[in-house]
Amino acid sequence: MTLLTYLLLLFSIAACSPLGANNANQSDRKVDFDAFGDYWYQGKAELNSYDLEQYRYGEKRTGEAVLIFVTEDFSKAKQVKLDNPQENEQDAQKVLKLNMTKNFITGIYPYSMMLSSFTPVYDKVPAVKVAASVQEWCGQTYTQMNRQAGGYNVELRSYFEREGDQQLTVDARAEDEIWNLIRLNPKEVPTGKLKLIPGLLDQRLTHIPLEAQDATITIQPAQAGVADFEAGKLSVCTVTYESYPRVLRIYFSSAFPYEIAGWEEVRKLDDGQEEVSSATRKAVMLQDYWTKNGNEFQPLRRDLNLTNP
């Protein structure tokens, strides 16, 4: 491990930047932490932009998606980002955070969707928190899952009468943590048959009650390339549900840092037809974006090939 990596493990250098190893020596994860630290503890986030094809209301829409991966210190007790982790190291837990955004237009009005997933880096436990929100001109919805006592306490807020405000408990792994597990090491992804909570953004589109579903997860070499990734250099993680009408395929580089090349989301319709939403990566950069909020940094969006505001 380089001196720079070691220093970045000890000190936070920016609001979103990483800090501290948090019991790295006690970790049971199958992760090369030297390589992980050299890449993820640079004080930068990995920004990925994607061309998006998203089905909604029976039609395919074009849009953009962004995946932001970054490490940060999380409160074990409050399950929120710590403002001053140095003041309470016992409460600090290193997490790999995914922020996913999807933006597309349905006729006259836009959809804006966001998912956040927080997975411990060193503690071999499931994602400690997952949250998702959807905004469109009809209204907005929000779902948050906090892992406590071996399951997830879920709060769902919706403008739909039949959903209303709900609080429930679901005891299963979350589909939305798979993205982070791939980035840690694909061997961390639980494969085979298991109970799984479907992706929260998909659940907001189907309005199917949120509950554990029987699913099967596989990882194998991809048969074709995606975007700037050649065939033979990609693997695909496939999540197939038995009853819930969804198949998810995540394409990622087979070598560290296991970059996400794209994905497919298959919706199985009652008439046997399938709607295939997909995303293909168009650009990537490492950037301490939280320090780049002035107007002079707007050209960086062109570097990411982003067109939507």
- CA of 187: how far to CAs of 118, 125, 179, 211, in Å? 18, 14, 12, 26
The structure tokens listed for 210 are: 């949120």
Return the H-helix or E-strand segment holding 302: helix 299-303
Q: Helices 33-40 and 3-10 sit at what angle, rounded to 10 degrees?
A: 80
Omega within 30 of 0 (cis) for the link into 126: no
Instruction: Quick: pLDDT tens for 237-252.
Output: 999 999 999 999 999 9
* CA 10, chain centre distance (Å): 26
Structure-token match 């029987």, residue found: 214
- pTM here is 0.90
Q: Given 3-state DSSP classes, what are the helix, strand and coil percentages for the chain, each rounded to the nearest 5?
A: 20, 50, 35
* CA 291, chain centre distance (Å): 22
Nearest to 197 by CA among 221, 222, 219, 177: 177
Q: Is the pLDDT of residue 227 over 80?
A: no
Q: Is the pLDDT of residue 25 over 70?
A: no
Instruction: Quick: pLDDT tens for 106-129.
Output: 999 999 999 999 999 999 999 999
